[in-house]
Structure 1
Amino acid sequence: MDTNFPDLRQFGGAEAFLRVCKPRVVLEMFTSKWTALVMGALLDGPRRFSELRRALDGITQKMLSQTLRTLERDGLVTRTVFPTVPPRVDYELTALGRSATGILEAIGAWAGEHADAVIAARTTYDARAAEPPRPVT
């Protein structure tokens, strides 16, 4: 272990910094922007694949399929196939998925409140990064 960083596990809650811990595996699930957006699109109830695709500007069919499969595998979304012609498939948040929506809504609210500040910081950073290097005097 790097001696510059103390082992924070003794203080509790720091296991997520360890590569093999269970909380980290779950946290990684939410690092995809599409995970949060797909779950947000399902907040109002079940939706068909085509409805989700229309609602999520910029998502490809492949990425939506992959995200829904991952969310189903993780127990956050259910996939229900109705025996109609053509087959109808609905996606819906599970109880576990709904239990995570408060966190996602809080992140969304924070993003909305601070978007201008983040964009301004990026603009300032990019302008500084575009300047030629100055000699050290």
Structure 2
Amino acid sequence: MGLLVVVANVEKIPCLNTLLVTMSHIHYSPTIEIVFVLEGELEVSFLTTSNMFISKLIKKGEIFLFPKGLVHFHKNIWRMPAAVITTFNSKNLGTQSIVSTLFVAMPTIPIDLLSKEFQIDTNEVEKIKLKLKPKN
């Protein structure tokens, strides 16, 4: 998962026995986003550079790290609310909608290519493009 936790506790350092102290040092691999679930459950997914789809259900108290630069998402798939805390390795983070970007790119991506890649009819591609077209 790209995470290494080194713990200093009473088992490793016996003189900490009466101090009620534990310390940890956490090493993160270069990641773009870390999600910690406060409430509920989320489906977290990303696509590797070899086009493998990775998906997992994470619950309250669990953490998930998204590798840097990979297409990813997280969504609430249940009917109950969910809440997360996220951290990023960027001082000025932005988001990008993949579908919007592909369907309204300039110059435009050919409809037959979008149809083939999304495995939808060319008429459906046209409908999506019209729906996503920026309003002037």
Say yes or no: TM over 0.5. Answer: no
Instruction: Answer 1 or 2: which has greater strand percent.
Output: 2
Q: TM-score, normalised by structure 1?
A: 0.24
| Structure of greater relative contact order (alpha carbons < 8 Å, 6+ residues apart) | 2
Greater helix share, structure number: 1
Q: TM-score, normalised by structure 2?
A: 0.24
